[in-house]
Amino acid sequence: MIAEKRKLIKWTDTLDPKQNVNVNEEEWVALEISLKININGKELVRFACSPVDCTDLAVGFLFTEGIISGLGDIDFVVYNKNEELVELTLNNKTKFDYNQWQTERTISTGCGQGVMSRLEYRRKNLLPLDFKPSANPKSLSQLFYHLKTHSEWYEKTGCIHQVTLSGMDGTVIIREDIGRHNAVDKVIGAALQCNINFNETIMNCSGRLSSDMVLKVGRAGIPIVVSKSAPTSLAIDIANELGITMIGFARGKRLNIYTHQERISFNEQLDEIKIPELT
C-alpha cells in the first residue's frame, strides 16, 4: 500500500462562518518509511521513500550509483518489510570501497535521497550515447497521456511521483514514490531484473529534471528522457554531454526540446533546414 486515509479537520473560507470548518473529514495521505540498505552486512544509506517496490529501489540505486554494473554483481538480496531493510550481498568479484563511498558524496536536490556519490567523477566516467531511436512529438504526448491515466495516487495524495519506462517493443514499466529520484531508481531496478534493453527505451518523469536525475538516466543508457516539469541548467549541460535527448514541459500538445533534437522526428513536410542545432 502506498497511501492510507487519515482523519483531519478541513477549513474553508466561506460566506457563512458556520460552514467554514468540517470535522470528521478523511483524505488520502502518502505513506513514508525510512528504508535502510545494507551491503555485505554494512549500512550503506537510508531512504525516505514509499513502502512499495523496495527491492527495485535498492537494485536501481546500486546500479545508478555505479556500485554494481548489473545483476550479476549481486549474490543475494532480500527485503525485510518489518525491519524496513533491504539486505544485499555482492559477489567476491565486485570491487566496492565502502569507506571511500561514504566520504565522497554530494548533497542532492532530491526528495527522499539526500546524497549521491562522486557527482563529477560519475559525470566524467559516463560515455556519450550514440543510439539512434527516434520518436515524434505526438507519440511523446501520447506517452504522457498514458502516464497521466495511471497517476491515481498523485491525484489522491498530491505528493507521489511517477516514472514510466516505455520500450520500443511496447513494454511499459511504471513505478511510484514520494521521491522523484526513488521513482527513477525503482523503474531502472525493475527493468534490470526484467532484462530490458535500456538503449531502446524512453523515460517519462513527473518531476523536474536535475543533474543527478540525468546522471541516473545516462548510467542506464536511456537515450530519451521526458518530463512535464522543467530541467535545470546543469541537467541540460550533462544531457548534452552524454548524448541524451532531454524534453521538458511536456504538457498537452506542447513540449520543449533542450538537447539532441536529432532523435525527434518532426512532420515530414517541415523543412528540417529550419530546425537549428542545439548547443
- For 54-68, 98-112, 232-246, which range has the lowest pLDDT when averaged over its residues? 98-112
Domain containing 236 equals: 137-274
67 found inside a domain: yes
Query: Which pLDDT belongs to residue 269?
Result: 45
Instruction: Point out the domain boundary residue: 124, 152, 187.
Output: 124
Per the CB < 8 A criterion, the answer to whether 147 and 164 are in contact is: yes
pLDDT tens for 223-257 read 999 999 999 999 999 999 999 999 999 887 889 99
pLDDT for 66 beyond 60: yes
* Distance (Å, whole) CA 223 – CA 246: 9
For residue 214, give the nearest of 110, 144, 138 by alpha carbon. Answer: 110
Query: Which pLDDT belongs to residue 176?
Result: 96
51 and 87, same domain (yes or no): yes
Query: Which pLDDT belongs to residue 149?
Result: 60
238 found inside a domain: yes
264 found inside a domain: yes
179 and 269, same domain (yes or no): yes
Per the CB < 8 A criterion, the answer to whether 178 and 108 are in contact is: no
- For 4-18, 68-82, 126-140, 192-206, which range has the lowest pLDDT when averaged over its residues? 126-140
8 found inside a domain: no
pLDDT for 113 beyond 60: no
- Provide the pLDDT confidence category of residue 116 given band limits of 50, 70 and 90: low
pLDDT for 268 beyond 60: no
Q: What is the mean pLDDT of the chain?
A: 86
For residue 204, give the nearest of 131, 262, 127, 146 by alpha carbon. Answer: 146
268 and 145, same domain (yes or no): yes
* Distance (Å, whole) CA 41 – CA 142: 45
DSSP 157: H
3-state class (DSSP) for residue 119:
helix
13 found inside a domain: no
For residue 33, give the nearest of 71, 64, 74, 79 by alpha carbon. Answer: 79
Alpha-helical segments (H) within 98-195: 98-103, 119-124, 137-149, 152-157, 180-193
Point out the residues that are catalytic: 111
pLDDT tens for 144-202 read 666 666 678 888 898 999 999 999 888 999 999 999 999 999 999 999 999 999 999 99
Query: Which pLDDT belongs to residue 98?
Result: 84
80 and 159, same domain (yes or no): no
Instruction: Answer with the residue of higher pLDDT: 156 or 275.
Output: 156
**Which amino acid is residue 133, in one-letter code?**
P
Helix (H) or strand (E) holding 240: helix 233-242
Largest CA distance in the chain: 71
C-alpha cell at 241: 554531454
193 found inside a domain: yes
Query: Which pLDDT belongs to residue 271?
Result: 47
260 found inside a domain: yes
- Provide the pLDDT confidence category of residue 137 given band limits of 50, 70 and 90: confident
39 and 161, same domain (yes or no): no
Query: Which pLDDT belongs to residue 122?
Result: 63
158 and 254, same domain (yes or no): yes
pTM here is 0.88
* Distance (Å, whole) CA 259 – CA 232: 13
CATH of the domain at 228: 3.40.140.10
Region of residue 123 (left: phi > 0; alpha: psi -120 to 50; beta: else): alpha
How large is the C-alpha radius of gyration of the chain?
A: 20
Residues whose CB falls within 8 Å of the CB of residue 241, separated by 6 or more in sequence, listed in order: 123, 128
171 and 261, same domain (yes or no): yes
Instruction: Point out the domain boundary residue: 101, 124, 147.
Output: 124
Chain centroid to Cα 151, Å, comes to 15
237 and 202, same domain (yes or no): yes
Number of domains in the chain: 2
47 and 146, same domain (yes or no): no
Instruction: Point out the domain boundary residue: 59, 90, 124.
Output: 124
Residues 40-45, mean pLDDT to the nearest whole number: 94
22 found inside a domain: no
174 and 253, same domain (yes or no): yes
C-alpha cell at 57: 529501489
109 and 143, same domain (yes or no): no
270 and 141, same domain (yes or no): yes
CATH of the domain at 113: 3.10.20.10
Residues 215-221, mean pLDDT to the nearest whole number: 95
Q: Express as a percent the part of the chain with pLDDT over 70.
A: 84
